[in-house]
Amino acid sequence: MANSAQQFNRANPRSQQVISPLLRLALLLGVALHLAGFLFFSVISSPLPQRAARPSFVQYVSPDSLASESELEEQAALFDSAPLFIPTRWNASQAYSVNLRDAARDQFPEFEPEINLLRDLQPASLLFAPGLQVSAPIDLLASRFWRFFGGAPSEALVALSESQPIAEIVVLAGPIAETVSLPAALTYITAAPIARPVLYYLRVSADGVVWGAPTRGRSSGNEAFDAAAAEWLGRAEVRAQLPQGYLSITVFPW
């Protein structure tokens, strides 16, 4: 082992010459000198600034002093919202008062649990109206709602008598505004359907004289029915029954 150590020292003579004991001492003295200079120039020569003591920013007031001072109340509310807020019994936020006028606004009934068994058990549809007062028990099995194939009771059908066409006469401009209905005896033969009534306009003077022929305002869609209505209005016995004025005559088919 001794021989190997001597051989290593002989092989690396330069490493022992670079880091000598004198160099090590110089490095340690340099580091110590830098630390001493830093402490002298940074700490001793430039101390921390001295400031006068001031009262604390957060001020606590009693709840009684806020009764008549709105500014103090607002100031206390601002102080209570500060990060240095300390909840104690002397703090203004502990003076909690309930306003009866605003109490109803703070309630949220839609978020509160509400259980009503009677309303939940009530069926959606009833056979009888709610609150129906009866003097005797009602047999539900005898109700007509159980007759699925019997149908609802109905009265016998009444046969309608055949009616003839009707003419509705409305006075649009005249001494008296009135509406007159006359039976129209029309004679026509057609196989086509009549979609709607035919409308004619006619003017009758105060002496009962008809001025001109009837003017068709709207066709019924059937030329035979329109011609029969115009022929019926041209009869002397029909014109004698017409009121005076500017007339709107609507002839309805049977």
Q: Which residues contact 52 (CB under 8 A, 6 or more apart)?
A: none
Cβ neighbours around 164 below 10 Å, total: 11
pLDDT reported for residue 33:
92
pLDDT reported for residue 6:
54
Q: Is residue 23 part of a domain?
A: no
Residues 179 and 240 in one domain: yes
pLDDT reported for residue 243:
86
The answer to which of 120-129, 146-155, 205-214 has the lowest mean pLDDT is: 146-155
Q: Is residue 135 part of a domain?
A: no
Query: Which of 197, 213, 201 lies closest to 174 in space, CA to CA?
Result: 201
For the cut 90, the answer to whether the pLDDT of residue 213 exceeds it is no
The count of structural domains within the chain is 2
Residues 98 and 173 in one domain: no
Q: Is residue 6 part of a domain?
A: no
Q: What angle do CA 10, 15, 20 make, to 5 degrees?
A: 115
pLDDT reported for residue 237:
87
pLDDT reported for residue 176:
72
Last residue of a domain, one of 75, 101, 116: 116
pLDDT reported for residue 71:
72
Q: Is residue 90 part of a domain?
A: yes
The answer to which of 24-33, 170-179, 187-196 has the lowest mean pLDDT is: 170-179
Q: Is residue 99 part of a domain?
A: yes
For the cut 70, the answer to whether the pLDDT of residue 155 exceeds it is no
**Mean pLDDT across 162-181:** 76
pLDDT digit string, tens, across residues 32-51: 999 988 888 776 766 667 77
Last residue of a domain, one of 94, 116, 138: 116
Q: Is residue 21 part of a domain?
A: no
Last residue of a domain, one of 99, 116, 133: 116
Residue 220 domain boundaries: 166-252
Residues 101 and 171 in one domain: no
Residues 172 and 232 in one domain: yes
Q: Is residue 94 part of a domain?
A: yes
Residues 170 and 112 in one domain: no
CB 202 within 8 A of CB 249: yes
Sign of the dihedral through C-alpha 133, 139, 141, 143: negative
pLDDT reported for residue 206:
80
CA–CA separation, 10 and 7 (whole Å): 5
Q: Is residue 183 part of a domain?
A: yes
pLDDT digit string, tens, across residues 63-100: 666 566 677 667 766 665 554 555 555 555 555 565 66
